[in-house]
Chains A and B, each alone.
Chain A
Amino acid sequence: MTTAQNFTLAELVICAAAEAWRDGGEVLATGIGPLPRIAAGLAKLTFAPEILMTDGEAYLVEEPVPLGAPRSERPSPSGWMPYRRVFSSVWSGRRHAMVTPVQMDRWAQANISALGDPMKPKVQLLGVRGFPGNSICHRNSMFIPHHSKRTFVEGEVDVVAAVGFGTGRWPGGKPHPVDIGIVVTNLCVMDFNGPDHAARVLSLHPGVTFEEVQDSTGFPLIPADPMGITPAPNDEQLSIIQRLDPKGVRAKVIKGNPPGLRAA
């Protein structure tokens, strides 16, 4: 399969994000938001047929549900997954979610709850939702549409919704194991597998420099050795993405819907 020449940054990001589920075993894959959801579907339809997905409501499906599909076109269910069972899956550890935090810090702690003082927030966001349980029970990856110091904050996140590698918050100072997969942004792919769980840049999207990523991040980054370039999608991947997102919701996620290859 040949590498495509015409693709958007969103499509490149979807392909990079799909990699989160490679070799992760037979787990419930939950992509929250359009790009992570397309990415999970792409993983399932290419290299990870073993992953389980839901229709976004209460059923497991073997065919990923395209974004915005009317109820009448939904695939028939292979299993039942009401919220009670989602929690059972979370607590068992057999789940890998990809989420979009509002803030993330050097300890991989993440916030979707509120900005400012949690007791009287300047801005009320979503609340901690399932982040505390997800982050202590199973692997989580992240998708960040706008890589900036507002998201990757200098200090600690305002509200610790997802736990991370900091030691200050654990009983007896003894950290609990935390499993971060990959962090895919509009600039690069990162993980937290540097020395002492330092954030590390695994690959830069075409045309992006390490300096640009570092300047957009509130904490120090380490380049992976070697640090690659995020691979371009191939035609098969692009056609699956189109099938999973026939109405082109992916064009509205990254500001300006830029091309995948930056103009020189």
Chain B
Amino acid sequence: MEYKTMNKEMTLRSVVSELRDGMTIGIGGWGPRRKPMALVREILRSDLKDLTLVAYGGPDIGMLCAAGKVKRLIYGFVSLDFIPIEPFFRKAREAGGIEANELDEGLLVLGLEAAGQHLPFLPTRVGIGSDVMKFNPGFKMVQSPYEDGETLLAMPAIKLDAALLHTTRADRLGNTQTDGPDPYFDALFARAAERCYVTAEQLVDRMDLSHPDKVKANLFERYLVTGVVEAPLGAHPTAAHDLYGWDHEHLNEYAELARQEDGWNRYFEKYVAGDEETYVERAGGSDRLASLPLPAM
């Protein structure tokens, strides 16, 4: 009966209180898709700083850069898809204030996989001959010990102090389910991290009792999950398949503000300052956000 007393439920604030300045934090999702934005906003409201962020970035990375939370970025890309270059990321990069470890998208997979397997590196050809080597001066080569003797890149493990993920539903034991056509790399982020915090559109008591038919949507084991937070619409303004799409209108306004001198402060004051309840209201109300259409291809 032990598990009946186990309860990993947390609040956005209690998750952020477990994070520290200077940590390496991985953020799940992919560009403007399934980002744990409620947690990102809670970080924006906190005084956390000097973070190293690891992501297939979207507005999560742009906002944290704009707010001066970031010391170093390890990224496969930072994009809003329909706006190909994340506007605040672009601004931060062109200002040159952030250490940028730009990676090939696949190298980020290998770095997270190595960390999850507690390996120092995984060998690959990817990156050799390209300026990925310039963006990552610490990368070293390794020679195959077999007959071929090929020289390969030893892609180092990317160990995370914490991973932040958004899921469709979670239970209090830490079981999660993620709907949608693509799991992206959330499971690799969970495995690479010391601690993994998950937000969910819906929190249930026991997934096995309420959603056994969806069990294939479970992407990683609950022993990887430190805490779960119920955060309906918590991916907004990014998409959360199959529930709601990304918010074009909101992201266009955000991108427009990136062109303005005090644009970030204005965005923060208009939307982020306050709490998630006020956020949803200011962003147009829960009915509007919940009915945002999923993007056409």
Contacts from A to B (Cβ < 8 Å) = 55-59, 65, 68-71, 74, 82-84, 87, 90-91, 113-114, 118-133, 135-137, 159-164, 169-172, 174-176
Main secondary structure of the interface of A (DSSP, over half): loop
Encode contact with A along B260-272: 1 for CB under 8 Å, 0 otherwise: 0000000000000
Considering the chains assembled together, what is the distance between the CA atoms of A129 and B93 in angstroms?
Answer: 16
Are B109 and A132 neighbours in the complex by a CB distance under 8 Å?
no
B131 contacts across to A, CB distance below 8 A = 113, 118, 128, 159-161
Are A171 and B141 neighbours in the complex by a CB distance under 8 Å?
yes
Are A128 and B102 neighbours in the complex by a CB distance under 8 Å?
yes
For B78, the closest partner residue in chain A by CB is A127
B220 close to A (CB within 8 Å): no
For A111, the closest partner residue in chain B by CB is B131
B94 close to A (CB within 8 Å): yes
Are A57 and B297 neighbours in the complex by a CB distance under 8 Å?
yes
Considering the chains assembled together, what is the distance between the CA atoms of A87 and B89 in angstroms?
Answer: 25
Are B130 and A135 neighbours in the complex by a CB distance under 8 Å?
yes
Are A87 and B130 neighbours in the complex by a CB distance under 8 Å?
no
Chain B min CB distance to A135 (Å): 7
Given A118-B135, A126-B79, the answer on whether A176 and B94 have CB atoms closer than 8 Å is no
The number of chain B residues with a CB under 8 A from chain A is 43
- Choose among B93, B103, B131 the residue with the greatest number of A CB atoms under 10 Å from its CB: B131
Considering the chains assembled together, what is the distance between the CA atoms of A215 and B183 in angstroms?
Answer: 48
Taking CB atoms and an 8 Å cut-off, the chain B residues in 119-150 that contact chain A are 124-135, 141
Chain A min CB distance to B97 (Å): 9
For B93, the closest partner residue in chain A by CB is A124
For B188, the closest partner residue in chain A by CB is A84
Q: Which of B106, B133, B134, B141 contacts A133 (CB 8 A)?
A: B106
Are B182 and A132 neighbours in the complex by a CB distance under 8 Å?
no
A135 contacts across to B, CB distance below 8 A = 130
Considering the chains assembled together, what is the distance between the CA atoms of A73 and B93 in angstroms?
Answer: 40
Chain A min CB distance to B170 (Å): 21
Chain B min CB distance to A259 (Å): 29
Chain B min CB distance to A51 (Å): 18
- Choose among A70, A124, A170 the residue with the greatest number of B CB atoms under 10 Å from its CB: A124
Q: Which of B84, B94, B109, B133 contacts A126 (CB 8 A)?
A: B84
